[in-house]
Amino acid sequence: MHLGRKTLSKFLIENVSGTQDGASLAALLVDVAAAVKAIAALSGKGALGGPMGSLDTINVQGETQKPLDVLSNNAFINTFQQGGLVAGVASEELDDPFPIKPPHKRGPFLAIFDPLDGSSNIDSNVSVGSIFSILLAPEKGLPETADYLQAGTRQVAAGYALYGPATIMVITVGHGTHGFTLDREVGNFILTNPNMSIPEDTSEFAINTSNERFWEDPVTRYVEECKAGKTGARERDFNMRWIASMVAEVHRIMMRGGIFMYPRDTKDMSKPGRLRLMYEANPMGFVVEQAGGKASTGRQRIMDIEPDQIHQRVPVILGSKNEVDRLVHYHEEYDAGTDKPYESPLFNERGLYRS
Protein backbone atom coordinates (compact mmCIF):
# COMPACT_ATOMS: atom_id res chain seq x y z
CA MET A 1 0.00 0.00 0.00
CA HIS A 2 1.16 3.50 -0.72
CA LEU A 3 -0.82 5.59 1.77
CA GLY A 4 0.50 9.12 1.92
CA ARG A 5 2.09 8.97 -1.51
CA LYS A 6 0.71 11.19 -4.25
CA THR A 7 -1.96 9.65 -6.45
CA LEU A 8 -2.54 10.73 -10.05
CA SER A 9 -5.82 12.40 -8.99
CA LYS A 10 -4.11 14.40 -6.24
CA PHE A 11 -1.31 15.39 -8.63
CA LEU A 12 -3.86 16.58 -11.21
CA ILE A 13 -5.87 18.53 -8.62
CA GLU A 14 -2.71 20.28 -7.43
CA ASN A 15 -1.05 20.86 -10.81
CA VAL A 16 -3.64 20.99 -13.58
CA SER A 17 -7.08 21.90 -12.32
CA GLY A 18 -6.44 25.57 -11.48
CA THR A 19 -8.74 26.92 -14.21
CA GLN A 20 -12.06 25.72 -15.65
CA ASP A 21 -10.29 24.26 -18.70
CA GLY A 22 -7.65 22.84 -16.37
CA ALA A 23 -10.30 21.12 -14.26
CA SER A 24 -11.79 19.53 -17.40
CA LEU A 25 -8.33 18.46 -18.57
CA ALA A 26 -7.56 16.94 -15.18
CA ALA A 27 -10.87 15.02 -15.30
CA LEU A 28 -10.07 13.84 -18.83
CA LEU A 29 -6.68 12.50 -17.70
CA VAL A 30 -8.46 10.61 -14.92
CA ASP A 31 -10.63 9.07 -17.68
CA VAL A 32 -7.52 8.13 -19.67
CA ALA A 33 -6.16 6.44 -16.54
CA ALA A 34 -9.43 4.49 -16.19
CA ALA A 35 -9.10 3.16 -19.76
CA VAL A 36 -5.45 2.32 -19.10
CA LYS A 37 -6.38 0.35 -15.97
CA ALA A 38 -8.97 -1.61 -17.97
CA ILE A 39 -6.40 -2.41 -20.70
CA ALA A 40 -3.79 -3.35 -18.07
CA ALA A 41 -6.27 -5.82 -16.59
CA LEU A 42 -7.15 -7.24 -20.03
CA SER A 43 -3.55 -7.55 -21.26
CA GLY A 44 -2.43 -8.98 -17.91
CA LYS A 45 -4.70 -12.00 -18.42
CA GLY A 46 -2.72 -13.13 -21.48
CA ALA A 47 -4.14 -16.29 -23.05
CA LEU A 48 -6.54 -16.67 -20.07
CA GLY A 49 -8.40 -13.57 -21.26
CA GLY A 50 -9.58 -15.17 -24.50
CA PRO A 51 -8.18 -16.06 -27.87
CA MET A 52 -4.77 -14.63 -28.78
CA GLY A 53 -3.53 -14.68 -32.38
CA SER A 54 -5.00 -12.46 -35.07
CA LEU A 55 -8.51 -11.53 -36.22
CA ASP A 56 -9.71 -11.55 -39.81
CA THR A 57 -10.03 -7.77 -39.73
CA ILE A 58 -7.45 -5.35 -41.12
CA ASN A 59 -7.18 -1.76 -39.88
CA VAL A 60 -6.72 1.37 -41.97
CA GLN A 61 -2.94 0.89 -41.76
CA GLY A 62 -3.27 -2.45 -43.59
CA GLU A 63 -2.31 -4.30 -40.38
CA THR A 64 -4.12 -7.40 -39.18
CA GLN A 65 -5.89 -6.63 -35.92
CA LYS A 66 -5.46 -8.65 -32.74
CA PRO A 67 -8.35 -9.21 -30.30
CA LEU A 68 -6.58 -7.01 -27.76
CA ASP A 69 -6.24 -4.17 -30.33
CA VAL A 70 -10.01 -4.12 -30.66
CA LEU A 71 -10.72 -4.49 -26.93
CA SER A 72 -8.25 -1.70 -26.09
CA ASN A 73 -9.76 0.57 -28.72
CA ASN A 74 -13.21 -0.08 -27.25
CA ALA A 75 -11.93 0.63 -23.74
CA PHE A 76 -10.77 4.11 -24.80
CA ILE A 77 -13.85 4.87 -26.89
CA ASN A 78 -16.32 3.76 -24.21
CA THR A 79 -14.45 5.75 -21.56
CA PHE A 80 -14.38 8.90 -23.68
CA GLN A 81 -18.03 8.52 -24.72
CA GLN A 82 -19.22 8.13 -21.14
CA GLY A 83 -16.86 10.81 -19.78
CA GLY A 84 -18.44 13.81 -21.51
CA LEU A 85 -15.10 15.60 -21.84
CA VAL A 86 -14.24 15.09 -25.51
CA ALA A 87 -16.02 16.25 -28.64
CA GLY A 88 -14.47 13.58 -30.83
CA VAL A 89 -11.97 10.76 -31.02
CA ALA A 90 -9.46 9.52 -33.57
CA SER A 91 -7.65 6.22 -33.25
CA GLU A 92 -5.08 4.11 -35.06
CA GLU A 93 -7.80 1.47 -35.27
CA LEU A 94 -10.47 3.72 -36.85
CA ASP A 95 -10.49 4.73 -40.52
CA ASP A 96 -11.87 8.18 -39.67
CA PRO A 97 -12.30 10.25 -36.51
CA PHE A 98 -15.81 10.27 -35.12
CA PRO A 99 -17.68 12.95 -33.18
CA ILE A 100 -19.39 12.23 -29.88
CA LYS A 101 -23.13 12.46 -30.46
CA PRO A 102 -26.24 12.55 -28.20
CA PRO A 103 -27.17 10.97 -25.87
CA HIS A 104 -23.50 11.38 -24.96
CA LYS A 105 -22.28 14.78 -23.83
CA ARG A 106 -19.58 16.58 -25.80
CA GLY A 107 -16.62 18.25 -24.05
CA PRO A 108 -13.92 20.77 -25.01
CA PHE A 109 -11.20 18.32 -26.17
CA LEU A 110 -10.27 15.99 -29.00
CA ALA A 111 -8.61 12.68 -28.06
CA ILE A 112 -6.29 10.92 -30.48
CA PHE A 113 -4.77 7.60 -29.50
CA ASP A 114 -2.99 4.40 -30.41
CA PRO A 115 -4.85 2.03 -28.10
CA LEU A 116 -2.27 -0.77 -28.23
CA ASP A 117 1.12 0.05 -29.66
CA GLY A 118 3.50 -2.81 -30.40
CA SER A 119 0.70 -5.35 -30.59
CA SER A 120 2.83 -7.69 -32.70
CA ASN A 121 4.45 -8.43 -29.32
CA ILE A 122 1.29 -9.64 -27.57
CA ASP A 123 1.57 -13.33 -28.40
CA SER A 124 5.15 -13.45 -27.15
CA ASN A 125 4.24 -11.67 -23.88
CA VAL A 126 6.52 -8.70 -24.52
CA SER A 127 5.55 -5.23 -23.26
CA VAL A 128 2.95 -3.24 -25.19
CA GLY A 129 1.54 0.21 -24.54
CA SER A 130 -1.03 2.91 -25.29
CA ILE A 131 -0.25 6.42 -26.54
CA PHE A 132 -2.57 9.45 -26.37
CA SER A 133 -2.64 13.06 -27.49
CA ILE A 134 -5.18 15.68 -26.36
CA LEU A 135 -6.06 18.75 -28.44
CA LEU A 136 -8.63 21.50 -28.06
CA ALA A 137 -11.86 20.92 -30.00
CA PRO A 138 -13.50 23.65 -32.07
CA GLU A 139 -15.82 25.71 -29.90
CA LYS A 140 -18.95 25.10 -31.97
CA GLY A 141 -20.45 22.20 -33.89
CA LEU A 142 -19.33 18.66 -34.48
CA PRO A 143 -15.58 18.32 -35.03
CA GLU A 144 -14.50 17.43 -38.56
CA THR A 145 -11.31 15.68 -39.63
CA ALA A 146 -9.62 19.03 -40.38
CA ASP A 147 -10.09 20.03 -36.71
CA TYR A 148 -7.76 17.22 -35.60
CA LEU A 149 -4.98 18.26 -37.99
CA GLN A 150 -3.16 20.49 -35.51
CA ALA A 151 0.62 20.68 -35.12
CA GLY A 152 2.06 18.87 -32.09
CA THR A 153 2.90 22.22 -30.48
CA ARG A 154 -0.85 22.68 -29.94
CA GLN A 155 -1.25 19.53 -27.81
CA VAL A 156 -2.61 20.37 -24.35
CA ALA A 157 -1.65 16.99 -22.93
CA ALA A 158 -0.04 13.77 -24.08
CA GLY A 159 1.35 10.60 -22.65
CA TYR A 160 1.66 6.88 -22.78
CA ALA A 161 0.96 3.79 -20.71
CA LEU A 162 3.34 0.85 -20.65
CA TYR A 163 1.93 -2.58 -19.80
CA GLY A 164 5.14 -4.21 -18.61
CA PRO A 165 6.03 -6.05 -15.40
CA ALA A 166 4.47 -2.95 -13.83
CA THR A 167 1.89 -0.70 -15.50
CA ILE A 168 3.31 2.80 -15.83
CA MET A 169 1.57 5.94 -17.03
CA VAL A 170 3.69 8.90 -18.15
CA ILE A 171 2.03 12.25 -18.86
CA THR A 172 2.75 15.85 -19.70
CA VAL A 173 0.51 18.90 -19.77
CA GLY A 174 3.44 21.10 -20.79
CA HIS A 175 5.04 21.50 -17.35
CA GLY A 176 7.53 18.64 -17.24
CA THR A 177 6.93 14.94 -17.72
CA HIS A 178 5.76 12.84 -14.80
CA GLY A 179 5.53 9.08 -14.30
CA PHE A 180 2.99 7.11 -12.25
CA THR A 181 3.03 3.42 -11.34
CA LEU A 182 -0.18 1.44 -10.94
CA ASP A 183 -0.67 0.00 -7.46
CA ARG A 184 -2.62 -3.02 -8.67
CA GLU A 185 -4.06 -4.04 -5.29
CA VAL A 186 -5.55 -0.61 -4.63
CA GLY A 187 -6.16 0.49 -8.23
CA ASN A 188 -4.41 3.86 -7.89
CA PHE A 189 -1.68 5.37 -10.02
CA ILE A 190 1.03 6.65 -7.67
CA LEU A 191 3.50 9.41 -8.60
CA THR A 192 6.82 7.54 -8.73
CA ASN A 193 8.81 9.58 -11.29
CA PRO A 194 8.20 13.33 -10.93
CA ASN A 195 9.98 15.67 -13.38
CA MET A 196 11.56 12.97 -15.49
CA SER A 197 14.78 14.02 -17.18
CA ILE A 198 16.46 12.35 -20.16
CA PRO A 199 20.27 12.40 -19.92
CA GLU A 200 21.69 14.62 -22.68
CA ASP A 201 24.29 12.07 -23.71
CA THR A 202 23.92 8.38 -24.30
CA SER A 203 25.77 5.32 -25.55
CA GLU A 204 22.64 3.34 -26.47
CA PHE A 205 20.76 3.37 -29.76
CA ALA A 206 17.59 1.65 -30.94
CA ILE A 207 16.82 0.97 -34.59
CA ASN A 208 15.53 -1.95 -36.65
CA THR A 209 18.74 -2.79 -38.51
CA SER A 210 16.94 -5.20 -40.84
CA ASN A 211 16.02 -2.04 -42.77
CA GLU A 212 19.65 -0.91 -43.08
CA ARG A 213 19.83 -1.21 -46.87
CA PHE A 214 16.88 1.19 -47.19
CA TRP A 215 18.25 3.97 -44.94
CA GLU A 216 19.47 7.36 -46.04
CA ASP A 217 23.23 8.05 -45.78
CA PRO A 218 23.12 10.20 -42.59
CA VAL A 219 21.44 7.37 -40.67
CA THR A 220 23.86 4.76 -42.02
CA ARG A 221 26.76 7.04 -41.07
CA TYR A 222 25.41 7.54 -37.53
CA VAL A 223 24.70 3.85 -36.89
CA GLU A 224 27.98 2.66 -38.40
CA GLU A 225 29.85 5.09 -36.16
CA CYS A 226 27.97 3.72 -33.12
CA LYS A 227 28.77 0.15 -34.15
CA ALA A 228 32.45 1.00 -34.73
CA GLY A 229 32.57 2.03 -31.05
CA LYS A 230 36.03 2.70 -29.64
CA THR A 231 37.70 1.97 -32.99
CA GLY A 232 35.69 4.64 -34.86
CA ALA A 233 34.92 8.34 -34.89
CA ARG A 234 32.93 8.17 -31.63
CA GLU A 235 35.85 6.63 -29.71
CA ARG A 236 33.52 4.87 -27.29
CA ASP A 237 31.43 1.71 -27.37
CA PHE A 238 27.66 1.80 -27.88
CA ASN A 239 24.96 -0.68 -26.95
CA MET A 240 21.89 -1.49 -29.07
CA ARG A 241 18.29 -2.37 -28.19
CA TRP A 242 15.19 -3.08 -30.29
CA ILE A 243 11.90 -4.16 -28.71
CA ALA A 244 9.57 -3.35 -31.65
CA SER A 245 7.27 -1.58 -29.21
CA MET A 246 7.74 2.18 -29.38
CA VAL A 247 6.29 2.75 -25.92
CA ALA A 248 8.81 0.39 -24.32
CA GLU A 249 11.69 1.99 -26.27
CA VAL A 250 10.63 5.50 -25.27
CA HIS A 251 10.18 4.52 -21.64
CA ARG A 252 13.69 3.05 -21.53
CA ILE A 253 15.00 6.32 -22.96
CA MET A 254 13.00 8.29 -20.38
CA MET A 255 14.64 6.25 -17.63
CA ARG A 256 18.26 6.06 -18.77
CA GLY A 257 18.70 7.99 -22.02
CA GLY A 258 19.23 6.71 -25.53
CA ILE A 259 18.22 7.45 -29.08
CA PHE A 260 15.30 5.82 -30.91
CA MET A 261 15.18 5.90 -34.68
CA TYR A 262 12.53 4.89 -37.17
CA PRO A 263 13.97 7.01 -39.98
CA ARG A 264 12.83 7.76 -43.50
CA ASP A 265 13.68 4.81 -45.73
CA THR A 266 13.13 3.60 -49.27
CA LYS A 267 11.50 0.28 -48.34
CA ASP A 268 8.08 1.53 -49.42
CA MET A 269 8.31 4.82 -51.29
CA SER A 270 4.63 5.54 -50.62
CA LYS A 271 5.45 5.88 -46.88
CA PRO A 272 7.76 8.68 -45.75
CA GLY A 273 8.21 6.87 -42.42
CA ARG A 274 6.79 3.98 -40.41
CA LEU A 275 5.36 5.77 -37.39
CA ARG A 276 2.21 7.83 -37.27
CA LEU A 277 2.44 11.55 -36.57
CA MET A 278 -0.82 12.20 -34.75
CA TYR A 279 -0.87 9.34 -32.22
CA GLU A 280 2.77 8.20 -32.01
CA ALA A 281 5.33 10.85 -33.01
CA ASN A 282 3.56 13.99 -31.69
CA PRO A 283 2.61 12.71 -28.22
CA MET A 284 6.00 11.04 -27.75
CA GLY A 285 7.68 14.22 -29.02
CA PHE A 286 5.81 16.27 -26.40
CA VAL A 287 6.67 13.85 -23.57
CA VAL A 288 10.34 13.65 -24.62
CA GLU A 289 10.80 17.42 -25.06
CA GLN A 290 9.22 18.10 -21.69
CA ALA A 291 11.86 15.78 -20.20
CA GLY A 292 14.71 17.70 -21.86
CA GLY A 293 15.08 15.43 -24.89
CA LYS A 294 14.49 16.14 -28.57
CA ALA A 295 12.27 14.70 -31.30
CA SER A 296 12.96 15.29 -35.00
CA THR A 297 12.39 13.81 -38.41
CA GLY A 298 16.09 14.44 -39.05
CA ARG A 299 15.15 17.59 -40.92
CA GLN A 300 12.36 19.15 -38.84
CA ARG A 301 11.17 19.23 -35.25
CA ILE A 302 8.36 16.68 -35.06
CA MET A 303 5.97 18.98 -33.19
CA ASP A 304 6.32 21.72 -35.85
CA ILE A 305 4.94 19.53 -38.65
CA GLU A 306 1.60 20.82 -40.00
CA PRO A 307 -0.36 17.58 -40.44
CA ASP A 308 -2.34 16.88 -43.58
CA GLN A 309 -3.79 13.47 -42.74
CA ILE A 310 -4.98 11.79 -39.58
CA HIS A 311 -2.93 8.62 -40.28
CA GLN A 312 0.09 10.49 -41.69
CA ARG A 313 3.46 8.76 -41.27
CA VAL A 314 6.72 10.54 -40.48
CA PRO A 315 10.36 9.64 -39.83
CA VAL A 316 11.11 9.70 -36.09
CA ILE A 317 14.42 10.31 -34.32
CA LEU A 318 14.04 11.03 -30.61
CA GLY A 319 15.74 10.85 -27.25
CA SER A 320 18.93 12.21 -25.70
CA LYS A 321 19.45 15.78 -26.89
CA ASN A 322 23.10 15.63 -27.97
CA GLU A 323 22.65 12.44 -30.01
CA VAL A 324 19.52 13.74 -31.78
CA ASP A 325 21.40 16.99 -32.53
CA ARG A 326 24.30 15.00 -33.97
CA LEU A 327 22.05 13.03 -36.31
CA VAL A 328 20.19 16.17 -37.37
CA HIS A 329 23.59 17.71 -38.14
CA TYR A 330 24.49 14.66 -40.26
CA HIS A 331 21.28 15.25 -42.25
CA GLU A 332 22.25 18.92 -42.72
CA GLU A 333 25.71 17.97 -43.95
CA TYR A 334 24.26 15.35 -46.29
CA ASP A 335 21.70 17.76 -47.73
CA ALA A 336 24.41 20.42 -48.20
CA GLY A 337 26.74 17.88 -49.80
CA THR A 338 29.44 18.52 -47.20
CA ASP A 339 29.38 15.16 -45.42
CA LYS A 340 32.29 12.77 -45.62
CA PRO A 341 31.48 9.32 -47.01
CA TYR A 342 31.46 6.74 -44.24
CA GLU A 343 34.73 4.85 -43.91
CA SER A 344 34.57 1.44 -42.26
CA PRO A 345 36.94 1.19 -39.27
CA LEU A 346 38.05 -2.18 -40.65
CA PHE A 347 39.71 -0.37 -43.54
CA ASN A 348 40.92 2.85 -41.93
CA GLU A 349 44.39 3.79 -40.63
CA ARG A 350 44.10 1.66 -37.51
CA GLY A 351 41.87 -1.05 -39.07
CA LEU A 352 42.39 -4.74 -39.73
CA TYR A 353 42.46 -4.35 -43.49
CA ARG A 354 44.55 -1.21 -44.06
CA SER A 355 44.84 -0.49 -47.72
Q: Taken in order 285, 257, 297, 299, is the CA torsion positive or negative?
A: positive
Q: Which residue is nearest to ligand AFP (CB)?
A: 246
Q: Is residue 209 helix, strand or coil?
A: helix
Q: Which of residues 40-69 bind ligand AFP (CB under 6 A)?
A: 63
Q: Is 263 in the site for ligand AFP (CB under 6 A)?
A: no
Q: Is 312 in the site for ligand AFP (CB under 6 A)?
A: no
Sorted by sequence, the CB contacts under 8 Å of residue 177 that are 6+ apart come out as 170, 171, 195, 196, 254, 287, 288, 290, 291
Beta bridge mates, 190? 7, 181
User: Per CB under 6 A, which region of 115-123, 158-166, 167-175, 182-190 contacts ligand AFP?
Assistant: 115-123
- Cis status, amide bond into 51, omega within 30 of 0: no
Minimum Å gap between C-beta 121 and ligand AFP is: 8
- What is the residue-wise DSSP string for 168-188? EEEEESSS-EEEEEEETTTTE
Q: Is 117 in the site for ligand AFP (CB under 6 A)?
A: yes
Residue span 192-211 as binding mask against ligand AFP, x where in contact by CB under 6 A, dash where not: ----------------x---
Q: Is 147 in the site for ligand AFP (CB under 6 A)?
A: no
User: Per CB under 6 A, which region of 110-118, 162-170, 265-273, 300-308 contacts ligand AFP?
Assistant: 110-118
Minimum Å gap between C-beta 246 and ligand AFP is: 3
Minimum Å gap between C-beta 234 and ligand AFP is: 24
Residue length, the chain?
355
Q: Report yes or no: 194 and 15 within 8 Å, Cβ to Cβ.
A: no
Q: Report yes or no: 318 and 259 within 8 Å, Cβ to Cβ.
A: yes
Rounded to an integer, what distance in angstroms lies between the CA atom of residue 118 and that of residue 63?
12
**Residue from the set 65, 188, 202, 245 that interacts with ligand AFP by CB under 6 A:** 245
Nearer to ligand AFP, 115 or 143 (CB): 115
Q: Which residues bind ligand AFP (CB under 6 A)?
A: 63, 114, 117-120, 208, 244-246, 262, 274-275
